[in-house]
Amino acid sequence: MVRRRKSLLDDGDARRFAIATVHAETSQLLKIIDEICHRFPPNDDLHFVRYLLRMIVVETKRTMGPDDP
């Protein structure tokens, strides 16, 4: 019989951690893409990437609870 180790996070904590991580990393990528778009116009290909990143940031912010960072 193989024992499974207990996870350090429960399902709610793991979900919040994943969403907070995606939000933080996507926000950083969005800042980089914004800077590139402002410094080196026109960047039509990056405008679509920026649009997608903004959608992810907004959705993860909406999904995060008020006590999440």
Count how many domains the chain has.
1
| 2 confidence band (pLDDT: 50, 70, 90) | low
Residue 57 half-sphere exposure toward CB, CA atoms < 13 A: 14
Q: What are phi and psi of 42, to 5 degrees?
A: -85, 145
Give phi and psi for 58, each to the nearest 5: -65, -45
pTM for this prediction: 0.76
Question: Is 5 contained in some domain?
Answer: no
Residue with the larger pLDDT of the pair 62 and 69: 62
Does the residue 4 lie in any domain?
no
- Note whether residue 7 is domain-resident: no
pLDDT in tens, 22-52: 999 999 999 999 999 889 888 788 989 999 9
> What is the extent of the structural domain holding 43?
13-63
12 pLDDT band, cuts 50/70/90, is confident
Whether the pLDDT of residue 69 is over 60: the answer is no
